[in-house]
């Protein structure tokens, strides 16, 4: 079997024009841009918890990096560098080749250099750390939502959860819908361009990406900003025909793995946001508003404007 060093060289060494020094030394060396802050985040994906055993390695490589880039998107940071630590039960060339293809497809799509990492033997576990940059003081933070703000979400929340249910045989979807849902689950597109535009045009107050579920992640904005929200289920994208409406709503509100952005913005910016949606060819849904903190942090209104009970708190690994 080739050695650890040989494997790294073969599958994970690509040019790193954005680094002073890439893989192969004790550390990578990076030259941060003047006038910028660094945004940094790390996410660990474990087989059996975050992805099913037997997941296609190319899709896994894409997704493991993409979910991290989604955190940069939620801050409005420009992705620049990534590191990958991985534990593998065995070093199979075929698997590694496909996995690294997925990683580099995503890295190249979003302009990231893979500058370092670590490989070791153990149960399958993939841990990316990604770094991005943004001008000092301009980050889209969770704690900046203000009463009166509109609440927005991008894209198609719920598709990934429907894709998972479809894979697990819990739901039957028509072919075209199944394909979209599986793509959302397996090859999510982090909303990097949206985050950059929201930040540079100063369109958003607070933002977060949807990894645990729309309502669960919205709650983080509410908690950190000490505000409440009213959400109208009817204002979310229309639920697909031929799917049980309660199930579809559950996926939209509580499904994880979407990697859409939820953000708050002044009502005065609605036209600009509509224009941005058109520019990016990405729908933006105004699905609620921020209100003063109250006993009820989150009020969900059904299609008739009646308050609904909230089920589905989102995914919490130790909950």
Annotated binding-site ranges for Mg(2+): 26, 41-43, 71, 118, 209, 212
Determine the 3-state secondary structure of 163 from DSSP: helix
Chain length of the chain? 319
Query: 83 or 253: whose CB is closer to a copy of itself?
Result: 83
Q: How far apart are CA 58 and CA 108, in angstroms?
A: 14
Give the bridge partners for 120, in sequence order.
87
Residues 87-116 that bind a copy of itself (CB under 8 A): 87, 91, 115-116
Instruction: In angstroms, give the least distance from the CB of 72 to a copy of itself.
Output: 6
Q: How far apart are CA 72 and CA 69, in angstroms?
A: 5
Q: How far apart are CA 24 and CA 126, in angstroms?
A: 20
Does 169 help bind a copy of itself (rule: CB under 8 A)?
no
Instruction: In angstroms, give the least distance from the CB of 161 to a copy of itself.
Output: 18
Q: How far apart are CA 264 and CA 153, in angstroms?
A: 9
Q: How far apart are CA 154 and CA 98, in angstroms?
A: 30
For 170, residues 6+ apart whose C-beta sits below 8 A from its C-beta are none
Residue from 117, 135, 147, 283 in contact with a copy of itself (CB under 8 A) = 117
Does 37 help bind a copy of itself (rule: CB under 8 A)?
yes
Span from 84-92, 153-161, 244-252, 300-308 in contact with a copy of itself (CB under 8 A)? 84-92
Does 318 help bind a copy of itself (rule: CB under 8 A)?
yes
Residue from 57, 86, 158, 213 in contact with a copy of itself (CB under 8 A) = 86
CB-count burial class (<10 Å; 0-12, 13-18, 19+) for 160: buried
Span from 37-45, 242-250, 264-272, 275-283 in contact with a copy of itself (CB under 8 A)? 37-45
Residues 179-238 that bind a copy of itself (CB under 8 A): 207-209, 224
Give the bridge partners for 289, in sequence order.
150, 230
What would the x/- binding string for a copy of itself be over residues 47 to 76, using CB under 8 A?
xxxx--------------------xx-xx-
Antiparallel, parallel or unpaired: β 307-308 and 298-301: antiparallel
Q: In degrees rounded to 5, what are phi and psi of residue 265?
A: -150, 155
Residues 126-145 that bind a copy of itself (CB under 8 A): 127, 129, 131-132, 136, 139, 141-143
CB-count burial class (<10 Å; 0-12, 13-18, 19+) for 168: exposed
Query: 44 or 277: whose CB is closer to a copy of itself?
Result: 44
Residue numbering of the annotated binding site for substrate = 50, 257, 315
Residues 250-309 that bind a copy of itself (CB under 8 A): none
For residue 264, give the nearest of 214, 232, 221 by alpha carbon: 221
- Interface with a copy of itself (CB under 8 A): 1-5, 7, 20-21, 24-32, 34, 37-44, 46-50, 71-72, 74-75, 77, 81, 83-87, 91, 115-123, 125, 127, 129, 131-132, 136, 139, 141-143, 207-209, 224, 316-319
């Amino acid at each position: 079997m080739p050695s650890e060093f040989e494997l790294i060289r073969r599958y994970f060494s690509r040019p790193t024009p954005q680094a002073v020094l890439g893989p192969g030394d004790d550390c990578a060396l990076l030259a941060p841009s003047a006038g910028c802050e660094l945004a940094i985040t790390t996410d660990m994906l474990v087989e059996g918890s975050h992805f099913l055993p037997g997941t296609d390695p190319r899709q896994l490589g894409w997704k493991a990096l993409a979910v991290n880039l989604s955190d940069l998107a939620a801050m409005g940071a420009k992705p620049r560098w990534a590191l990958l630590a991985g534990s593998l039960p065995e070093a199979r060339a075929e698997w590694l080749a496909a996995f690294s293809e997925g990683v580099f497809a995503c890295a190249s799509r979003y302009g990231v250099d893979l500058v370092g990492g670590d490989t070791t033997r153990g149960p399958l576990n993939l841990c990316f750390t990604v770094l991005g940059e943004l001008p000092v003081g301009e980050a889209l933070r969770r704690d900046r939502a203000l009463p009166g703000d509109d609440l927005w979400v991008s894209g198609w929340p719920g598709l990934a959860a429907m894709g998972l249910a479809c894979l697990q045989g819990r739901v039957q979807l028509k072919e075209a819908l199944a394909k979209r849902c599986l793509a959302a689950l397996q090859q999510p597109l982090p909303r990097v361009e949206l985050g950059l535009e929201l930040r540079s045009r100063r369109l958003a107050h607070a933002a977060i990406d949807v990894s645990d579920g729309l309502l669960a992640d919205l709650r983080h904005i509410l908690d950190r900003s000490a505000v409440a929200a009213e959400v109208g289920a009817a204002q979310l994208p229309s639920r697909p025909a031929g799917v049980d409406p309660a199930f579809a709503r559950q996926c939209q509100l509580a499904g994880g793995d979407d990697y859409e952005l939820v953000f708050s913005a002044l009502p005065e910016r609605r036209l600009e946001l509509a224009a941005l949606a058109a520019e990016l060819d990405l729908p933006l849904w105004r699905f609620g508003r921020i209100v003063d903190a109250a006993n009820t942090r989150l009020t969900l209104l059904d299609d008739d404007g009646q308050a609904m009970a909230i089920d589905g708190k989102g995914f919490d690994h130790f909950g």
